[in-house]
Structure 1
Amino acid sequence: MTPATTWTAGDARAAFDRARAELGDGPAVLRDYCKSMKHHWAEAAFIPDLDDPEAAWAVARRFRELREDDFVGGFVLRRFERFTSAEVRTWWLGGRCVLVGPHPDTPDRPPVADPDLATVAPLVAALALPFVTVDLAPRYDGVWRVIELGDGQVSDRPATVDPARLLTPLLTPPPSPLPLPPLRRSWIRGA
């Protein structure tokens, strides 16, 4: 449900060039494993043509400079797609959507249509996570695309959404225990 994506482990130029070549030519959007620099769109987020290695690397280099010590994992290159509306943020508890609203970055720009949650719901449920947010946007052809999925670290609600609309489901016990992934021995310190 996301545009075609490639990524690197680390910030080396050679790895970036391999990921860039794997995605092919055309425009792309750059981020790291955790964050984009969309507020620095022209200099550190948007790559007009992946087939121009020096221009693409200039965007990646600037992205890396701006992220400094906050750079996480590696570069993530995602095929650029045109969307027809602002993003919508959805909040999910135990695989069930409990709230749909505007994205916190654009609280006064609601989406032009309701997102198609029938496709994304089984995918979110399969994650077996107690809480996630999923940001969606409609592509030019009407297909809803996942822009980003978060596990609660940056899951703000826009100021235009009444806090009770999110807090009530969060504070209401679920009808049955939430499925949790099995504990892995590697998660236990010293194991």
Structure 2
Amino acid sequence: MSIMEHLTQEERLAYQQAVKKAILVIMGVSGCGKTTVAQGLQEALGWPYQEGDSLHPKANVDKMASGVPLTDEDRYPWLEKCHEWIQSIHAQHGAGILTCSALKRKYRDLLRGDMGNSVRFVYLNVPQAVLEDRMKKRVGHYMPPSLLPSQLATLEPPGQDENPIVVDVVQTPEETVRIVLDSLEKQL
């Protein structure tokens, strides 16, 4: 079942026409809902979507699965693959959606490159207790709940000068997607 099934065709078309094309990077720590929100946005906007976790080298996945946090050196090849996807999709379509934790400003700078406001970060801010609960219940993901503290310690929330869309996630996924869509409609 789709999280955005309640959107009418007219609502989808309205969002697609009102929202200026951009590359959206749905960011935040593990368990914040990046994939769910990105899929809802992809469904509403019809833009290409890439799950950033699938771009990780196998060594990174193995390291995280064994409970070892990634270092900056581990992350850079992955971030470069994400940046390459951003560039390619921007050149082909002008718009797309990528999930990526983008925990530090320097990671976001690498992802954005010289593309400026063509790349927009959507930061999903979720209370730690909710994140812990979600990660304990999650099935089939390589990231163990034991790595959440290291992600929270690494996280540098985006500053106002980065022009992020910040969503304090306390509502349903559908409502979160609508908040992002409404913000995009107003801001872009």
TM-score of the alignment, normalized to the shorter chain, above 0.5: no
Question: Shorter-chain-normalised TM-score: which range?
Answer: under 0.3
Higher relative contact order (CA 8 A, sep 6+): 2
Decide which structure has the larger Cα Rg and report it.
1
Report the TM-score when normalising by structure 2: 0.25
Which is richer in helix?
Answer: 2
